[in-house]
Structure formats: structure tokens, C-alpha cells
Copies of this chain bind each other. A is one copy, B any other.
Amino acid sequence: MRIAISTGGGDCPGLNAVIRGAVRTAVAKYGWSVFGIEDGLQGLLRPEPLRPLTPASVRGILPRGGTILGTTNRGNPFGVASGELGQEDIPGKMIARLEAEGIDAVIFVGGDGTQTIAQRFRERGLKVVGVPKTIDNDLDATDYTFGFDTAVGIAMEAVDRLHTTAESHDRVMVLEVMGRHAGWIALHAGISGGAHVILLPEIPYSFDAVLAKIRERQRNGLSFSVVVVSEGAYPAGEAPSFRSHPGKSTNARLGGAAEQLVERIERETDFEARATVLGHIQRGGSPSHFDRLLGTRFGYHAVELAAAQKFGRMVCLRGTEIGDVDLLDAMGQNKQVDPHGQICSAARAIGICLGD
């Protein structure tokens, strides 16, 4: 059998673990040939041969962030928005290329957009297997995906660091972390870092509630506070603060949520406030052990699905076990923080202000 692997969407620590796990399983256990498609699916449209992936070529990539195959946020082959791809039947060209290369099946590693593309290819007859990837942890079909754990770890370390400077200077330190539509990173990093206020896209916040918390602390002799805010958090009654950057990918403008809050605190109170925006640091660098193991297991199971001819499915984590779901059941099922779920209830019980 000959299979190909593609990584799409934003990069994520653990992608290389998936590639390595799939390649080693396919080659060592099944004796298959594996090929990498470069830069999302763009590599299928280029004249260069697909990249052969062997145990030797994936050696040493486990601890490395990013993806050795490259990725891109641009260019949905099925999309009308894809100006660069024009009116041609791009998916058809891609399928033809795969057939010409003798590829039997493709493993699509990516988020909701990528899995939707995988499903569209499936509808046109391609044998596909999905591996979920979302650093924001917002896919409902799986308990966790790789990358999220690493991102939370980086964000929590930043919260730890801000504590000491906040306390030394009696300041309100605001840390903006990733999460446009789901506040998982802010929630996990905020609780584990000991933040006093956590603001999420799922709970439009009351500025008065935030101020009340900061002032309650001040009355208790704690004249500093640490706030963790998702990039997609916004005040109740207003629109989300992040903006797209026309013609480029959409996360060109960071920091809006944090700056909005800092400016208002400084304008309306006597507190000194400072914003820090972690940005891309959260998705780079060496993956945590959790993400390396999960990525490895996902890669292994994706190949097992192919070996069992179970196509059109996406691997997922449920508890401690890897399972799989139909791509149709995985698509578009976003997982947001439940404002009244267990974790938010625990956060409020221990005195964290969630903006409501």
C-alpha cells in the first residue's frame, strides 16, 4: 500500500509526532510506502515529486515543533474564497495527481477546515483518514488534541512570571492568550497559574465585575491582580475585539482584547495596568510529553484505520483510549467552554472572577 500525509492549518506542537508515528507504523509494521504532501495540499499542484517519508527521514523530529511537511492557512481547494486557485477543478487535479503517484489513501492532519476538505475528497472517492488538530481544543469529537497541552504550559508559565512582577509593582497584569471562539487555553492556564480574573469568548464580560474583583482584592491588602484573557473575549454588549487582516491570514492582529481591557482600567481607575500578548510563542517549540504521546498514538491509529480499510473516519481520544468517529460526525462540532460546567463552577468556587 502507498499512503500520503498532509498537514493543514496553523502549526501545532505534536504534528511531527503524528507524522513519525504514522510513518514508522506503516513502514515497520506493514511495509507500506509513505509520502508527504508539502505545504498543506499545495505540494500536489507542484511539479516536484512527493516527499518519500521513511523511518530515517523522520528520525529526530519527535521533540521538534512545527511540521516537517510545512503547512498553510491559505487555499481551500473546494473554496470560492480561494482566489489563487481560480475556476479550475482543483480537487480533481489533486485526485488525479494522487492516482498518478499510486497513492491508495491520504491521512489528513488538521482542524475543522481540513477535516471538511477530507470529507469533500471522500465524497469524490478518495480514501481518507482524519487526524484532528486544534491548538484551541475546540473539537467536540475528541477529549483533547495534541498542541493544546503545550500551549497551556507556555501560557501558565507566563502567568507564573506575571505574578511576581504584578506583586512587586502593585499592578494589574493582563495576559492575552489564544482562543478566538473557545476559551480553553485561558481557562486552563488561568486556573493553573492562579489568575484572579479569566475572560473567555463564551462569557461576554462585565467590566464592572472585573473591577469589583480587583477592588475586593485591594481591600484585602492585595493591590495587584493577574488577568488572563482569550483573544476572543469581549465586553457584554459589544462585538469581539479581534480583527481580520484582509488578504493575509486572519490572525494578523493580536492584542486587541488585552489592550482594550488595559486602556479601560488605566482610564477609569488609579491602577497601573499592563498587557502582554503571547501570540505565536504558544504554538511553537518542543511539544510536551502529553502532546508527543498523543500525536504518536494518533499517527499509529490512523495507519491502523487504513490497514483495516476503515476510511472516512477520524481518530479521537476518549478518556485514555483512542477511538474513531465518522468524519461527518466530527465536522463542525465545536466544543466551547460550558459557562456552567464543572471547570467554570470550580473556578468560581475558588474565587476566580469569570467576568460575569
Contacts and interface: CB of A to CB of B under 8 A. Distances in A.
B321 A284 contact: no
A169 interface: yes
B168 A67 contact: yes
Using C-beta atoms within 8 Å of the partner chain, give the interface range for chain A. Answer: 35 or more
A45 interface: no
A93 interface: no
Interface string A183-221: 000001101111000000000000000000000000000
A125 interface: no
Interface in A240-281: 245, 248-249, 251-252, 254-255, 266, 272, 274-281
Given A153-B289, A289-B192, A292-B191, A284 B350 contact: no
A336 interface: no
A192 B160 CA distance: 20
Given A157-B285, A161-B285, A191 B296 contact: yes
B24 A351 contact: yes
A173 B252 CA distance: 11
A287 to B, nearest CB: 8
Interface string A56-86: 0000001111110011110000000000000
A43 interface: no
Contacts of A145: none
A342 B319 contact: no
A350 B28 contact: yes
Given A70-B168, A274-B252, A293 B160 contact: no
A99 to B, nearest CB: 28
Contact of A346 (B73, B162, B300): B300
Contacts of A66: 164-165, 167-168
Contacts of A239: none
A306 B289 CA distance: 35
A126 to B, nearest CB: 24
22 contacts: A10-B169, A11-B165, A24-B350, A29-B349, A62-B194, A64-B164, A66-B168, A144-B320, A152-B289, A153-B288, A156-B292, A162-B280, A165-B280, A173-B280, A192-B293, A248-B272, A255-B255, A293-B343, A296-B346, A300-B350, A301-B346, A321-B342
Interface of A: 10-11, 13, 15, 20-21, 24-25, 28-29, 39, 55, 62-67, 70-73, 143-144, 149, 152-154, 156-158, 160-170, 173, 188-189, 191-194, 245, 248-249, 251-252, 254-255, 266, 272, 274-281, 283-286, 288-290, 292-293, 296-297, 300-301, 303, 318-322, 342-343, 345-346, 349-351
Closest 9 CB pairs of A and B: A161-B284, A65-B164, A66-B164, A161-B285, A66-B168, A11-B168, A192-B289, A192-B292, A24-B350
